[in-house]
Structure 1
Amino acid sequence: MLVSILLFFALLVVAPYVVYLVWYALIQPTDCPANKSFKAESVSVVLPTYNEESIVVSKLEELANIEYPVDQFEIIVVDSSTDDTAEIAQKFANKHESLSIRVITESERRGVATAVNLGVDAAEGDVIFRTDCDSRIDNKTIQHAVAALHDSDIGGVMGQQTKVLGESQVETDYRNLQARNQALESYLDSTFIVHGPCFAFRREDFEPIHPNSLADDTELGVNLRRQGKRVVLDPEMEFTESGVSDIRGRRQRKDRRAMGLIQMLVRSRDMLGGYGWYGRVVLPFNWWFMIIAPWLMLVLIVGTIMMGFSWLGVGGVSTLIALAGFVFMGQRDALGPTQPLYAVFDSNISLVIASLRLLRGEEDGTWEVDTESRKAFEE
């Protein structure tokens, strides 16, 4: 009886992934679904910062060298730091007078969502490009973003991470799986998850983000879809972030990100069943992947361990050893062709933790600084 129940739970966990993989194979989305046509428009880059004095100059240098007409390009830094980030950014601006760089300082830290709201409110460009200090974008990424937004059906366009600094196979596998999912959703209708380090939208379509939002980027995408606009992935908009495979090292960034995504799924539950394929397919599948499947996986793991002890007595400890071995090998990128399974396992762990933290009311919109992710970008 227990075996049948566990097999049923295993089928429930695996089936949606199989459906998406088959769907992806049938559609084979390989490029941006937008009708791209480049014509230079004014662009405002919004860069929220908090205690990033060691990496803010390298980010500003990157943006200063972007291939885009300088007279239609501005950079807005919104800072709430307790270190010298704002002062360093202002010194950079003073030394590069040919560039339009403005530094807005907040009297207190209120979170990324508030910083983005302030940046967009101060922006003068027709197109807003949202990015972060601990990321890098390709030299022509903003050109591709503007070209995609010329399609009147497209409200937002995001990039695809093509490199993970830190050589984390777990993060690479996770991003590759996520990119396939987002590419499929982009062709079906609109993608749910949005990448803040590389995301563009029109200023006129912007709706202020909730101050305690834990996923300001994804909330931007949801708001655009509410207005009838699509949000799509453009693989030509390339960007880079850092990542680690160590299970403890991944918790800070992955768990907080998972909290934001679950928060947005709950807040957008009124969209289920509407908004074309977005409400009928994209959102239900994301509900399954992020809210239901992680708990099914946990039940499956606990049930397997219980079955091991029921069948083998003390020998059932072998199931615990097998699980520990899977985690040990997975975080060392040593599982070979089965390594992507560990990436799925790791993300589900984050989603379970995130659900519990949200139930405890941990959603004030601010984060503990992820210093580990910034080390790869330090000068």
Structure 2
Amino acid sequence: MKRLLEALFGLVALTGLPYLIYLGVYYLRRPSGTPADTWPREPSVSIVLPTYNEAAIVESKLEELVDLDYPMAKVEIVVVDSSDDGTAELVETFFAGRSDPELTLIREDERKGLAVALNEAYAAATNEVVVKTDCDSRLAPDAVRKAAANLADPDVAAVTGRNADVLGDSDVERGYRDIQTMIQVLESHIDSTLIFHGPFSAFERDAIVRIDEDSIADDTELALKIRRNGDRVVFDPDIHYKEAAHSAFGKRREQKDRRAMGLLRLLWRQRDALGSHGAYGRVVLPFNWWFMVVSPWLVAAGIAVATVGSLAMLGPAGAAVPAAALGFTALGSRDALGPLQPFYSLFDTQISLLRASVSLLRARADGDDETHDGTWSTDDELREVLQ
């Protein structure tokens, strides 16, 4: 029993130590505000919008884009579409008779995956700055202008923004995003951030490189490759967007597990970046490896040791430990934990990372590294909050 308690204490201490160090560095550095110091000239911008069966929401998204606080004479909208529900026709009708912004519509004969579509769209973009956004998100009117301010820094070639308001009232996602904001602000002040967000990311066109055709972490992969090529990639908390998200445990799994799998596979494929590229490879990447690769297994091991120890010491009454874990999960997925909700948000993310790790290990054991073809499905329930 003593050994079990020592093992549990060791697991808890080991799991939490990197996060305590992070908090210490955060409060020592006290990073705040936008990385951009000046408002530059207004560069020309290509806004890339991948679409698949977005007929219900594409017009409202296009209305948002043409209403951005940016001169439309300097904007090109690049839509790459593989729909079978008339989305492309709605896009053409929307732009009929408009002189600005310019429309470039790429019709795919068949679905080849998001990464393939983005490679085509990035190659077709003609302007100085390329912004990527999603149909199922909403941007603040000044998002492009603030992105341009960041890219005016000659050392910065890419910038992403913050999910400032979670559509669909998901406190689980909101709690995690708030914690993630702290992490990414510090990463950007140290050197560069890792994770880039699909609802809004902006890149210097000349810095863009091709991404893997089977990528399911396309925005982060592009940012990582840009950093490897010598430019900084930053997170600006003043660039705001909104994204719809579920709170219910079961509904979140597909969305969260897919993202987790994409990030884990990307970290593994780009593992030779560890220790290189300044503080990015020596600090930022190791912390993300710990959070995404190591920590989920330690959390699972801690729960297992606590369960075994309580059953060994208390007999049937020891079942209270796994019951408490289940209760914590049930209440957290219902946004019912009050001040403890942010802890559940982190726990929920660790669950997805663990599940994704298991899926990738199984695929690797079966000799199959291609666990996803890069396509995505629409979520009609989430889209209802955007209509």
Using the size of structure 2 for normalisation, the TM-score is 0.95
How far apart are residue 36 of structure 1 and its match?
A: 3.2
Superimposed CA distance per residue, residues 91-145 of structure 1 (whole angstroms, 9 cap, x where no aligned partner): 1111434331222111111111111111111111110001000001110110111
SS at match of 1:197: coil
* C-alpha separation in 1, matches of 2:113 and 2:28: 41
* C-alpha separation in 2, matches of 1:126 and 1:172: 33
Superimposed CA distance per residue, residues 30-56 of structure 1 (whole angstroms, 9 cap, x where no aligned partner): 112244332111100000111111111
Counterpart contact for 2:45–2:75, Cα < 8 Å: yes
* C-alpha separation in 2, matches of 1:94 and 1:40: 26
SS at match of 2:103: strand
* C-alpha separation in 2, matches of 1:206 and 1:40: 20
Residue identity in the other structure for 1:338: L
Counterpart contact for 2:74–2:101, Cα < 8 Å: no
Q: 2:218 aligns with which of 206, 213, 216?
A: 216
Which residue in the other structure is 2:300 paired with?
Answer: 298
Which residue in the other structure is 1:92 paired with?
Answer: 94
How far apart are residue 175 of structure 1 and its match?
A: 0.3
SS at match of 1:167: coil
Q: 1:363 aligns with which of 361, 372, 376?
A: 372
Which residue in the other structure is 1:280 paired with?
Answer: 282
Query: Unaligned regions of 5+ residues in structure 2, if any?
Result: 364-368
**Pairing of 1:219-368 with structure 2 (within 5 A):** 219-359=221-361, 360=363, 361=369, 362-368=371-377
* C-alpha separation in 2, matches of 1:366 and 1:6: 41
* C-alpha separation in 1, matches of 2:39 and 2:285: 29
Superimposed CA distance per residue, residues 221-253 of structure 1 (whole angstroms, 9 cap, x where no aligned partner): 101101111111112211101112111111111
* C-alpha separation in 2, matches of 1:154 and 1:37: 14
Which residue in the other structure is 1:63 paired with?
Answer: 65
Which residue in the other structure is 1:375 paired with?
Answer: 384
How far apart are residue 82 of structure 1 and its match?
A: 2.1
Counterpart contact for 2:75–2:100, Cα < 8 Å: no
Residue identity in the other structure for 1:236: D
Using the size of structure 1 for normalisation, the TM-score is 0.97
2:126 paired with 1:117: no
How far apart are residue 355 of structure 1 and its match?
A: 1.2
SS at match of 2:192: coil
SS at match of 2:199: helix
Counterpart contact for 1:170–1:331, Cα < 8 Å: yes
Residue identity in the other structure for 1:331: S
* C-alpha separation in 2, matches of 1:15 and 1:127: 40
Which residue in the other structure is 2:366 paired with?
Answer: none
Which residue in the other structure is 1:172 paired with?
Answer: 174
How far apart are residue 369 of structure 1 and its match?
A: 3.0
Aligned residues between the structures: 378
Residue identity in the other structure for 2:165: K
SS at match of 1:235: strand
- Identical amino acids, percent of aligned pairs: 46
How far apart are residue 87 of structure 1 and its match?
A: 1.2
Q: 2:83 aligns with which of 74, 81, 84?
A: 81
Which residue in the other structure is 1:39 paired with?
Answer: 41
Residue identity in the other structure for 1:376: V
Counterpart contact for 1:9–1:300, Cα < 8 Å: yes
Which residue in the other structure is 2:192 paired with?
Answer: 190
* C-alpha separation in 2, matches of 1:345 and 1:21: 18
Q: State the Cα RMSD in Å.
A: 1.2
Query: Unaligned regions of 5+ residues in structure 1, if any?
Result: none
> Runs of at least 4 residues of structure 1 off by over 6 A?
none
Residue identity in the other structure for 2:88: A
How far apart are residue 170 of structure 1 and its match?
A: 0.8
Residue identity in the other structure for 2:386: F
* C-alpha separation in 1, matches of 2:13 and 2:146: 40
Counterpart contact for 1:34–1:154, Cα < 8 Å: no
